[in-house]
Amino acid sequence: MPGKSKAIRILVDEQKHAQVKALAERQRYPTLAAYVSHLIERDLQAQPEGTPAARPVVKQLVADADPKPIRSLSGITNFLLAIDVGNTNVHFGLWHGAQDTEPGEWVITWRARTVPEKMPDEYAVLLSNFLESADLTFATISGVAIGSVVPRLTTTFVELVERYIHVEPLVVTHETKTGVRIDIDQPAQAGADRIINSAAVVALYGAPAIVIDFGTATTFDIVSPDGAYRGGAIAPGINISQDALVNATARLHKVDLLPPPCVIGTNTIHAMQSGIFLGYVAMIEGMVKRFKVAMHDEHVKVIATGGLAVLFNESTDAIDLIAPELTLEGLRVIYQMNR
């Protein structure tokens, strides 16, 4: 599989499970599987169209990391399809509900590039290929929940679902029943992703909380002790911050988003890494500190999600928990609440 991360190489080539498990615990992941899955998903984001053929391999790697029975998906029906449409990626997840002998779980997830110009039929072909790689079809899906921050693609996916899956999707907006009161100046302006993440946190982790979502933008969302979404902050994501710097200067080029050996950079690469990466970590820590002061709660839990969450988590103590599938979980919680 192309693009294997260091953690995956350890698991597959060296079988050093104990070391990786210890690393996952230090990163405050709830399970080793969650940690490895998050690293794999981050690596796969760079692969064209989500590389569906890699998904069974990914699932097996996660199973090896945290052993549990892997059953064939063939013959299983009544899946919930959650679709998280972001500015960079579209994240698909299949949830199979709780049974008498097993809890519900995300049996498989995929990522594809966000392309606003794509037609419903084009995304339908892509989704069909994803499903086929797991021996599934559209007919195995009984419900769909959509959260989108790209209005043009919201209608695209609604049309796809109605035409190919033949169900009416739940599209999350500020008017949807979520279990979270939207307590901001103009509720209609609240992004679907921020509402969904808040709903997931209230249902799964409890309030109060600070939620950090590392995506195209980095968002900070505040959930009050009574479970209300109180707003937060929106900052440029670290990738677009670096892009802006590089595009506006003649002699600076992209660098790996990693911490430098020392905060005092003695060459251009390390100086950029210090300013971009450590500067971003300082922003995270500073914002969390300010939010805690504003909330009058020094012990409020901080939950992070998004593709780069693990990267920053390794360099700060400001994050208490990584929740790799937080937005998908929120879509599931809201869908079940509205059935």
User: What pLDDT is attached to residue 241?
Assistant: 96
- By the 10 Å C-beta count (0-12 exposed, 13-18 middle, 19+ buried), 339 is classed as exposed
Q: Is residue 105 classed as helix, strand or coil in its secondary structure?
A: strand
Distance CA 273, CA 253 (A): 11
User: What pLDDT is attached to residue 62?
Assistant: 41
Tell me which residues of the chain have a pLDDT lower than 70: 1-72, 98-102
User: What pLDDT is attached to residue 117?
Assistant: 95
pTM of the model: 0.77
Distance CA 141, CA 64 (A): 27
Partner residues linked to 222 by β-bridges: 210
Q: Give the DSSP per-residue string, 142-191.
A: EEEEEEES-HHHHHHHHHHIIIII-SPPEE--TTS--S-EE-SS-GGGS-
Cis upstream peptide for 208 (omega within 30°): yes
User: What pLDDT is attached to residue 33?
Assistant: 53
**Of 243, 272, 246, nearest in space to 260 by CA:** 272
Tell me the fold of 181-329.
Answer: Nucleotidyltransferase; domain 5 (3.30.420)
**Which of the following CATH numbers is that of domain 6-179: 3.30.420.40, 3.40.470.10, 3.40.47.10, 2.70.150.10?**
3.30.420.40
6-179 and 181-329 have identical folds: yes
User: What pLDDT is attached to residue 35?
Assistant: 56
Q: Where are the domains of the chain?
A: 6-179, 181-329
Distance CA 221, CA 195 (A): 9
Catalytic residues: 193
- Please count the CA atoms within 13 angstroms of the CA of 278 that sit on its side-chain side: 14
